[in-house]
Structure 1
Amino acid sequence: MDQENVTATLTVPAPAAKVFAVLADPTTHSAIDGTGWVQQAVERAPLTEVGQIFRMDMYHPNHPNGDYQVANKVQVLDPPRAIGWLTGQEKDDGHLEFGGWSWRYDLAPLGPSETEVTLTYDWSAVPQFIREYIEFPPFGPEHLSNSLHHLAEIVSGG
């Protein structure tokens, strides 16, 4: 596969500011994800600045420990148009190390009560040594679309 990112787009029946507020709230991420991998936010504060770190408790059956934690670093924050983060982990010495993959949501208002949301998962910066033990993308092609449908349900109150 030459392409090193995947995207999905969905029109969400909510204003961009409301969609952005949900995405900037780490406590909603497990419901948006829908795979069962994202368990819960460790830091529950809203995402408000580039460089902010927020950790998530995770679970994956193929992970050596099953349960693990990721440290995400906000990379893009342009309310209410774009939000994105790099995913990594905290090493034993407290140093944060990022694997080279990122999540980004781009929001385009289509009117006062609709927003086109594009979700991009990009792994173009993943070094070869990580690619040797993690296949990218690490989920099926339906995952991004499913996540956007979950987001739509959350912002519409359903």
Structure 2
Amino acid sequence: MDEENVSATLAVAVPAEKVFAVLADPATHPAIDGTGWVREPADRAALTEVGQIFRMDMYHPNAQDGDYQVANQVHVLDAPRAIGWRTGHDPKGDGHLEFGGWFWRYDLVPLGPSDTEVTLTYDWSAVPQSVREYIQFPPFGPEHLPNSLQHLAELVAPTSRAGASGG
């Protein structure tokens, strides 16, 4: 695979400020996640600055005992246009974080006063070869990003639209 990132885009009928507020709240991340791996935030403070660390409790059947925790570091914060974080962990439990070389980023483009185009990108271009030997990238199926954006849209949608669905 030549590409080292994947992205998906969805337009939502919500102002960018409201979408950004939901993304900046770690408590919403389990509901947004399209894999089911994100369980709950260990740190619940809103994301407000570059460099901020927020931890999330996770589950993956291939992880030892299934449960684990990641430490995310905000690396982009440009309210209400962009927010992103790189994912790492504390391998020795001593507070020294190591990052794997991948990050998540949401870019928000206002399409008018009450509509926003949201692009979610997962980038693994900085993952070292030693990590690529035991993790396949991306580590999720092609439906993950569109599912996550749909979950985000359902969270931010006005109540009158929340029950609307096709099919």
Aligned-residue sequence identity (percent) comes to: 77
The aligned residue for residue 106 of structure 2 is 105
Amino acid at match of 1:141: P
Q: How many residues align?
A: 158
Map residues 1-158 of structure 1 onto 2, 5 A cutoff.
1-92=1-92, 93-156=94-157, 157=159, 158=162
The separation in 1 between residues aligned to 2:9 and 2:147, in whole angstroms, is 10
Query: Alpha-carbon deviations, 1:52-111, whole Å to 9, x = none?
Result: 000000000011230000000000000000000000001222200000000000000001
Deviation at 1:34, TM superposition (A): 3.1
SS of 1:62's equivalent in the other structure is coil
Unmatched runs of 5 consecutive residues or more in structure 1: none
Amino acid at match of 1:14: V
Deviation at 1:113, TM superposition (A): 1.1
Amino acid at match of 2:136: E
The separation in 1 between residues aligned to 2:17 and 2:123, in whole angstroms, is 24
TM-score by length of 1: 0.98
The separation in 2 between residues aligned to 1:94 and 1:107, in whole angstroms, is 33
Deviation at 1:13, TM superposition (A): 1.3
> Are the equivalent residues in 1 in contact too, given 2:42–2:55 (CA < 8 A)?
yes
> Are the equivalent residues in 1 in contact too, given 2:34–2:145 (CA < 8 A)?
no
